[in-house]
């Protein structure tokens, strides 16, 4: 009877061992992730096949009742194994749910950023264009277009009223260091009338504050050298630099400057510069890297020269530095570029290239007077600049519904407190400084326009009693 009991007990132990082995195979993942808990659960009953058999034999011979208790404990633990599997499944499900929540949150954040960048790109400068007219407390402008046309008509008919008691200083705009003909014809035109005229030698691709500092010293040198007041005319960024010099150093220049004319200057900012450098829009970093390569590497300029023309920079500067329009005569001039198909064929003359002549052919003798050549020849350098301005103006009109000269909208070129000339003639941003192969003898050229603008400044100064 006792022998049968021992055999039955051995059989029960073997069955339990096989059941445990089955559980090990079924819950191997749990054992790998939680080895300490699993060993504490089943380590008491077996460690290996041989050790388990020897332990069972010793237990049967020495402690039969203890073996029965261990078998009972093994069965209990085997019955509890599914609960551990359920716990493991719950942990895996919880972890998967947590990862799903994390991934969903990341996707939502990325979508929010993408939507924000898309909206910012589509909005562009629509909220910034014309912000000067929307700002309360600024001095309103005065329309002087009619008087300008009268003065321009007089200039074209030979009436020149500019006094020689002033020095006339022209400030070129952006990239003027790479434009040899910038204001050259205008200076020659003024010199023929016996007027003292200069073109400011500044690094146009530098920041506005740096050029303002250089202009301050330039104006002071001209004033001390001639004893005459200076009448300023700045085109594009040149007008911004001149206005900044007056705003920053008005205490030093009060008695040296007679007036300021801003021709097609983005006093409020430029939508082109803002759209290129706006942060937060799509491909903003790529666009900035491209502009940095062009401005800094190729042109050897400063990126701040372009940044100073954005709406954010202009708002910040104007809020901190007021232009004394109530004390100084100021004229604003702006135009609208044409988008007609014929403009696309217009070529702008921007420079001259000197090329050496080739040696004369042998059959042409030195006595042949019909072939007398100089050592070098000047070849005009032309580019389709007017076509580019026309395309840019069309873009601004279709996107924002604003009239512009291709780079500056009309409303952003009006300086608060100034006399504004709103010319209805179709002229692009570069027309004032570059000559065209297709000149119209009926219309006034850039030199005559500048003379009429400066004549208007002199009239305004006389009305204010500031004329020297």
- pTM for the model stands at 0.73
CA 405 to chain centre: 20
CATH code that applies to domain 131-358+374-464: 3.40.50.1820
Q: How far apart are CA 195 and CA 193, in angstroms?
A: 6
Mean pLDDT rounded to a whole number for the chain: 78
- 211-236 pLDDT, tens digit per residue, is 999 999 999 999 999 999 999 999 99
Strand 257-263 to strand 229-235: parallel, antiparallel, or no bridges (unpaired)?
parallel
Mean pLDDT along residues 115-132: 88
For residue 375, the model assigns a pLDDT of: 47
- 362-410 pLDDT, tens digit per residue, is 444 444 444 444 445 566 666 677 788 888 999 999 999 999 999 999 9
User: What phi and psi, each to the nearest 5 degrees, are found at residue 300?
Assistant: 65, 40
Q: How far apart are CA 135 and CA 317, in angstroms?
A: 15
Q: How far apart are CA 440 and CA 451, in angstroms?
A: 18
Q: What does R_g of the chain's alpha carbons equal in angstroms?
A: 43
User: What phi and psi, each to the nearest 5 degrees, are found at residue 360?
Assistant: -70, 145
CB atoms < 10 A from the CB of 130, how many? 18
Q: Which residues pair with 218 in a beta bridge?
A: none
Q: Please check the confidence at residue 22 and state whether its pLDDT lies above 50.
A: yes
DSSP secondary structure string for all residues of 376-397: EEEEEEEE-HHHHHHHHHHHHH
Mean pLDDT along residues 413-426: 93
Mean pLDDT along residues 34-60: 46
For the chain, give percent helix, strand, coil, nearest 5. Answer: 55, 15, 30
- 327-376 pLDDT, tens digit per residue, is 899 999 999 998 777 666 666 655 555 555 545 444 444 444 444 444 45
Q: Please check the confidence at residue 447 and state whether its pLDDT lies above 60.
A: yes
For residue 268, the model assigns a pLDDT of: 94
Domain-by-domain residue ranges, the chain? 2-101, 131-358+374-464
Q: Going by C-beta distance under 8 Å and a sequence separation of 6 or more, which residues neighbour residue 117?
A: 280, 281, 282, 284
Q: Going by C-beta distance under 8 Å and a sequence separation of 6 or more, which residues neighbour residue 65?
A: none
Lowest mean pLDDT among 40-49, 103-112, 282-291, 312-321: 40-49
Q: Please check the confidence at residue 162 and state whether its pLDDT lies above 50.
A: yes
Max avg pLDDT among 69-78, 221-230, 435-444: 221-230
Q: How far apart are CA 20 and CA 27, in angstroms?
A: 10
């Amino acid at each position: 009877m006792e022998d049968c009991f021992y055999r039955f007990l051995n059989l029960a132990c073997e069955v339990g061992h096989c059941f445990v082995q089955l559980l090990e195979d079924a819950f191997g993942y749990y054992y790998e992730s939680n080895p300490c808990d699993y060993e504490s659960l089943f380590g008491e009953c077996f460690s290996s096949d041989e050790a388990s058999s020897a332990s069972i034999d010793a237990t049967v011979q020495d402690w039969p009742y203890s073996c029965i208790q261990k078998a009972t404990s093994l069965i209990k633990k085997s019955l509890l194994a599914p609960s551990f599997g359920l716990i493991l499944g719950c942990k895996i499900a919880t972890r998967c749910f947590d990862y799903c929540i994390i991934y969903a949150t990341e996707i939502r954040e990325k979508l929010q950023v993408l939507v924000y960048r898309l909206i910012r790109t589509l909005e562009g400068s629509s909220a910034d264009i014309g912000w000067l007219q929307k700002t309360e407390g600024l001095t309103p402008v005065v329309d002087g277009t009619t008087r300008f046309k009268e003065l321009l008509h007089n200039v074209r008919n030979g009436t020149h009223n500019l006094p020689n008691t002033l020095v006339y200083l022209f400030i070129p705009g952006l990239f003027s260091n790479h434009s040899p003909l910038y204001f050259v014809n205008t200076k020659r035109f003024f010199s023929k009338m016996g007027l003292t005229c200069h073109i400011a030698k500044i690094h146009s691709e530098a920041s506005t504050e740096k050029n303002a500092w250089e202009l301050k010293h330039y104006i002071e040198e001209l004033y001390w050298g001639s004893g005459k007041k200076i009448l300023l005319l700045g085109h594009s960024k040149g007008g911004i630099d001149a206005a900044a010099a007056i705003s920053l150093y008005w205490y030093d220049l009060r008695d040296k400057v007679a007036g300021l004319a801003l021709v097609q200057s983005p006093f409020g900012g430029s939508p082109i510069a803002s759209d290129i450098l706006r942060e937060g829009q799509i491909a903003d970093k790529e666009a900035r890297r491209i502009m940095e390569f062009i401005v800094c590497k190729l042109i050897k300029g400063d990126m701040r020269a372009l940044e100073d023309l954005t709406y954010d920079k202009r708002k910040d500067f104007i809020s901190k530095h007021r232009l004394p329009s109530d004390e100084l005569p100021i004229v604003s001039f702006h135009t609208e570029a044409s988008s007609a198909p014929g403009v696309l064929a217009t070529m702008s003359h921007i420079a001259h290239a000197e090329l050496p002549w080739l040696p004369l052919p042998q059959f042409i003798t030195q006595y042949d007077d019909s072939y007398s050549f100089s050592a070098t020849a000047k070849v005009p350098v032309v580019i389709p600049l007017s076509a580019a301005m026309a395309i840019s103006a069309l873009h601004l009109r279709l996107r924002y519904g604003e009239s512009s000269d291709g780079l500056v909208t009309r409303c952003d070129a009006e300086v608060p407190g100034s006399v504004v000339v709103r010319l209805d003639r179709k002229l692009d941003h570069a027309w004032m400084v570059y000559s065209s192969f297709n000149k119209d003898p009926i219309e006034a050229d850039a030199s005559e326009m500048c003379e009429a603008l400066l004549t208007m400044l002199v009239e305004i100064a006389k009305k204010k009693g500031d004329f020297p």
